[in-house]
Structure 1
Amino acid sequence: MNPILTNTSAMDKAVLRRYLDLPQPDNKVMATYIWIDGSGENLRAKTRTLDEEPKSPEEIPWWNFDGSSTGQAEGSNSDVYLKPVAIFKDPFMLGQNKLVMCETYKYNKEPTATNQRIDCVDAMKAAHDQHPWFGIEQEYTLLDRDGWPFGWPKGGFPHPQGPYYCGVGATQALGRDVVEAHYKACLYCGITISGTNAEVMPAQWEYQVGPCEGIDAADRFWISRSLLLRIAED
């Protein structure tokens, strides 16, 4: 069983805010590249500086990373490339700064095993005249730092199901701050989030992305997951 890392000393967000409020040069943009790692499920991210605000993914340069540390390459030849495919406003750094969804490519510019987006793009192009729409639902459970569901009695269980689905109240809706922060961040980014609600288990929630046309549904969904994980850090 893997040990759970915990941050036992909470960071002072007021100190961070002091530096986030520093003025940023008009000709500098922080671009956070986001990609799916070798698990096919987890997300990774790294940030670089651009000299002007990009208006499309094509204006953002490819980048690279050590794929041997993400399960996407051997250590003897570990370069993996990041190809920007979608951009969004950054709700954390604000201003001109961007979140960048990326595809991953091996050292020889062939898609990595977890780059399934490229096949989806081909399928969407083939069905372009049909204008396919998609809606995606994401259910999730908030966990405390020790891995136990957030708000549950330690080593125990809450009352039986019943009052929690779409619940309201301090003992029914656990973790609403994360949920509402995520909702607002999605709207700020331009993600087509269509709703959210508490689920049948305390600390379990869901949200929906869509309807979106074609590959946009997948790109916006993955960025929404990245936002949720990032917000939960706070």
Structure 2
Amino acid sequence: MNPYYQIVKEGLWKNNPALVQLLGLCPLLAVTNTVINGLGLGLATILTLVASNGFISLLRNQIPDEARLPVFVMIIASIVTIIELSMNAWFHDLYLILGIFIPLIVTNCSIIGRAEAFAARNSVGPALLDGLMMGLGFTAVLVVLGGMRELIGQGTLFSQAELMFGDVAKNFSITVIDDYRGFLLALLPPGAFIGLGLIVALKNVIDARLSKQQTAQVEATAEVATSS
């Protein structure tokens, strides 16, 4: 199998940090009450993963083994600081909503884990792709969970899109259910746990069906080969 295809598959589905590794759940569950909040945090996480993987891969031969974790954390913290200051400058209202969860990206186990397990052991190209795919997989879960909670909780999608895209996005909000009184549980932390559990369960069902189909195909191929 093409190694780059394997990296894409691992990041987006097979080893998704939110659905399989179950890492970074604190921000995942805390800020995904709308699509825009989830997308904002997801983009910050993608930038952090790509940049940190790239720098760590580039410097992997110069970083001594006994100091690698402190160096990884320092690199990640520097990148997150740049992202945080940039969001504060250009997306201030969104920055205020995401709050402490932007600097907490530094402690996201999935970022440190990819630095240790992949970036420190591979060249720059695969490391950048791994960071991008892991970030996209994490962001996809943030956006889907945010969409579920926003739709069930307040009957809208893409509310407050102007926080990220400016005044031109004020009309992006979609009211799916008119005169909807809302469902508070969906917007509270228990709703996030329930929503994430449903997404994980759906992934497991899909994986089980795919595995069953592959097994059936292998058995059919074996029968054809035996009969011939």
Give the TM-score, by structure 1 length: 0.23
| Structure with more of its chain in strand, by fraction | 1
| Larger RCO of the pair (alpha carbons < 8 Å, separation 6+) | 2
